[in-house]
Each structure stands twice: as structure tokens, then as C-alpha cells.
């Protein structure tokens, strides 16, 4: 059952907060004459008439009655957020990666990665792998600089056999250790023959077009809808989506500029006409400046965790049980383009893949042509 909170407003109007509501409740609310949504207050406003009170009472299944006298409460005035200097995203210089005090070897590795212009995600991953490795060495009472070849291999074997991490994680740990001993400590003989774990051939989870439409349909918050719509329509990673700037939306060329994507590479991708309509509505309501999708602090972008939660809430409301994540929108973008007959090399550019083989894996999950193939069971006469 829907719950209504009604507050008296100025100019003969009332403010309404609707909670615990269904899609039907929201539809009935929008049918009340004179309704208007205020994105700043996160409330609906209505003319203070008998017709309005009767319609609101029907939503909560109560007999029509005039509002209680205690509703005349002044809205809370929030203190204006303290302005912070705008911090532009710069690969290699945006966030500290090591704990305080930092391990000297991790600091040396991180400095070398910065000098090589490596992306923040690479630095963060290497730092975490090395912290795990040094914790293991501490438990085994081994000095990092005096570690033997067999001890390094024993650590990786123990990790691979634990069953708690993926092959990709083991490969990342191997790369971090090779960088530490080969580049930083100049002890290449300890890691020169470390085998690389074979990566399992796993197919990405993909949403159908109807499932993507259901997710967008049940996303009522305009900012959240714009975020998910832009991510799907352009094939963006979650970090790329939340770090978009307002000036990276090129409505004249119908393109989106992705700055410092994976591997610290820039690229252009598609700007959907449908997404542009929603973006313009979002701009008019929220008036973002700097970051396209700001977080709680106006001068910082929406966090990746918050974007993931937005997607998961929408997925649950849409009734989709696939193990989908925000990244699934990117997989779905590539797959649907392939089904529409777009050349795989264009898709490679849109996705920012270094290798065409990475893009071609989506040919294994496309439904194009599968509808014409029948299982031999269907041809049996039983």
C-alpha cells in the first residue's frame, strides 16, 4: 500500500512525498490535474483543492478527508554545500594507492608505473596484489628482497589452488610480481620463467533488447535513467560513465568523447538520439556543470559503487534474474550492434579494444541467424 506525506505549501498548493508505491500508484498520481514534479525537493506539487484530496485519498484506500492541521510544516532548508576546487581527472595523479606509511617497494613500483603513464586501474591492481604478497611473506617470515624463485612460485601455486580467486586474478598477481622483481628490484632470474595461467573461455552475460528496455522503463529517477541510457547506448565501462564531463557530449557530431579510458586511451563512441533527448531533460532539471553525473559533493563525480547499485536496483525492479552487472550493458551494446550487422571493426573502435579478437568473442553470443537453426530433436517424429 502506498504511503503519502502531505505538506502545505505557498500559493494554495500542497507538497506530496510518495513512498512504498507501485507502478499503478504512480500512474494514478500522474493523472491528478495540475501535478508537477520538483527534482530539487524530490516531491510532487498539486493544487490544494477538494479534487486533489479525494484523488490522493483513493491512492491510499482511505475515505476522503481534509488534511490534518499538522501538515503546515516549513520545509527544511539544507545548508549550501561547501564548494571545493574542481579536480580534473589525470591518470597517475588522481588518488593515492598505498597505505601510510607505504611499503617502500610498493612506492617504487607505483612511481615507475606513473612514469610509464599507466592507468589508475593498473596501478591500483598492482598495489593490491603486492600488498597481498607482502602479507604472505610476513606470515612466512620471508624478506621481499631475499625471496627465492621457488617461494614466489609457491605463493602463486597456493593462490591458484585456493579456489577463491579467478584465473584473471592469478594472471594479474603474476604480472605484478614480474614487474616488482624484473623492473624494480632488477632480479629477473626469479620470475623469468613464471608460467601464465590459461584463461577459461567464458562468454559474457548479455541482456536482450527487451530486458534492457525493461530496466530503463522502471528507472524513474531522471539522473539514474540518463546514466544507464548513456552507458548502454555508448558501450561505456562504469568508470568511463561516471567520469564523463559535460563538454564531452558532442550533440552536433552525435558523439561522446571518452577521456582516459582503459589503458589511459581516449576514443569517440556513439551518442544516441534517444539518449540525447533524456540528457537534455536531465540538463534542464539538474543543470550539471563539470562532471556530467556529479556525486554527493558537487565537485566530485558519482562513485562507481553508486552506479553499480543504481543498476542492480533497476535490474531487480525489472524482474531480471540473470547475473548481470553494470558492465553487462557494455556487453549488450556490442552484441546488439553485431546483430544489427555493424562491421566488427567499427565496434572495436567504439569499445576501445586493442585486439579485434577481444571484440569477436561477441559473435558467440549473438542471436543473429540462430532463429533459422533447429535442434535435431525438433525433426524427430514421435
Catalytic option among 53, 153, 327, 361: 327
Catalytic option among 123, 224, 301, 330: 330
- With beta carbons less than 8 A apart as the criterion, state whether 60 and 3 touch: yes
Catalytic option among 129, 223, 225, 353: 353
Does the annotation mark 169 as catalytic?
Answer: no
Catalytic option among 120, 126, 232, 362: 362
Does the annotation mark 362 as catalytic?
Answer: yes
Using CA atoms, how far residue 373 sits from 121, 356, 364, in Å, is 42, 27, 15
CA distance 278 to 292: 13
Catalytic option among 123, 223, 237, 315: 237
Does the annotation mark 76 as catalytic?
Answer: no
Does the annotation mark 120 as catalytic?
Answer: no
CA distance 303 to 379: 53
Give long-range contacts, CB 8 A cutoff, 24+ apart: 102-107. Answer: 103/130, 103/131, 103/134, 105/130, 105/134, 105/144, 105/145, 105/180, 105/184, 105/185, 106/130, 106/131, 106/134
Return the ∠ at Cα 139 (arms to 137 and 144), rounded to 5°. 15
CA distance 80 to 78: 6
Does the annotation mark 214 as catalytic?
Answer: no
Catalytic option among 262, 267, 317, 361: 262
CA distance 304 to 122: 16
DSSP annotation of 300: S
Buried b (16+ CB within 10 A) or exposed e, 120-131: bebbebbbbbbb
Does the annotation mark 317 as catalytic?
Answer: no
**Among all residues, which ones are annotated catalytic?**
237, 262, 327, 330, 353, 362
Amino acid at each position: 500500500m502506498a504511503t503519502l506525506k502531505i505538506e502545505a505549501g505557498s500559493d494554495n498548493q500542497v507538497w506530496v512525498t510518495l513512498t512504498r508505491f507501485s507502478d499503478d500508484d504512480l500512474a494514478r498520481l500522474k493523472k491528478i490535474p495540475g501535478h508537477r514534479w520538483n527534482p530539487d525537493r524530490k516531491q510532487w506539487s498539486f493544487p490544494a483543492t477538494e479534487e486533489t484530496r479525494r484523488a490522493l485519498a483513493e491512492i491510499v484506500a482511505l475515505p476522503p478527508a481534509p488534511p490534518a492541521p499538522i501538515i503546515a510544516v516549513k520545509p527544511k532548508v539544507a545548508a549550501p554545500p561547501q564548494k571545493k576546487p574542481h579536480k580534473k581527472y589525470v591518470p597517475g595523479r588522481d588518488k593515492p594507492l598505498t597505505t601510510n606509511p607505504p611499503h617502500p617497494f610498493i612506492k617504487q613500483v607505483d612511481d615507475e608505473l606513473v612514469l610509464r603513464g599507466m592507468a589508475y586501474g593498473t596501478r591500483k591492481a598492482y598495489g593490491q596484489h603486492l600488498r597481498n604478497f607482502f602479507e604472505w611473506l610476513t606470515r612466512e617470515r620471508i624478506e621481499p628482497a631475499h625471496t627465492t624463485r621457488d617461494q614466489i612460485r609457491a605463493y602463486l601455486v597456493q593462490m591458484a589452488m585456493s579456489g577463491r580467486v579467478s584465473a584473471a586474478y592469478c594472471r594479474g598477481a603474476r604480472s605484478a610480481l614480474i614487474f616488482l622483481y624484473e623492473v624494480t628490484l632488477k632480479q629477473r632470474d626469479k620470475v623469468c620463467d613464471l608460467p601464465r595461467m590459461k584463461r577459461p573461455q567464458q562468454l559474457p552475460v548479455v541482456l536482450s533488447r527487451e530486458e534492457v528496455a525493461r530496466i530503463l522503463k522502471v528507472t524513474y529517477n531522471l539522473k539514474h535513467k540518463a546514466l544507464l541510457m548513456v552507458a548502454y547506448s555508448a558501450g561505456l565501462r562504469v568508470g568511463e560513465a561516471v567520469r564523463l564531463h559535460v563538454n564531452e557530449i558532442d550533440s552536433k557530431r552525435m558523439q561522446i568523447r571518452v577521456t582516459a579510458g582503459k589503458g589511459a586511451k581516449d576514443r569517440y563512441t556513439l551518442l544516441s538520439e534517444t539518449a540525447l533527448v533524456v540528457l537534455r531533460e536531465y540538463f534542464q532539471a539538474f543543470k550539471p556543470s563539470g562532471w556530467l553525473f556529479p556525486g554527493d559533493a558537487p565537485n566530485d563525480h558519482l562513485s562507481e559503487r553508486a552506479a553499480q547499485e543504481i543498476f542492480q536496483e533497476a535490474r531487480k525492479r525489472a524482474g531480471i534474474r540473470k547475473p548481470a552487472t553494470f558492465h553487462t550493458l557494455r556487453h549488450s551494446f556490442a552484441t546488439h550492434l553485431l546483430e544489427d550487422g555493424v562491421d566488427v571493426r567499427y565496434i572495436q573502435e567504439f569499445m576501445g579494444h586493442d585486439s579485434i579478437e577481444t571484440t569477436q568473442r561477441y559473435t558467440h553470443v549473438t542471436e543473429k541467424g540462430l532463429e533459422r537453426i533447429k535442434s535435431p530433436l525438433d525433426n524427430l517424429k514421435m
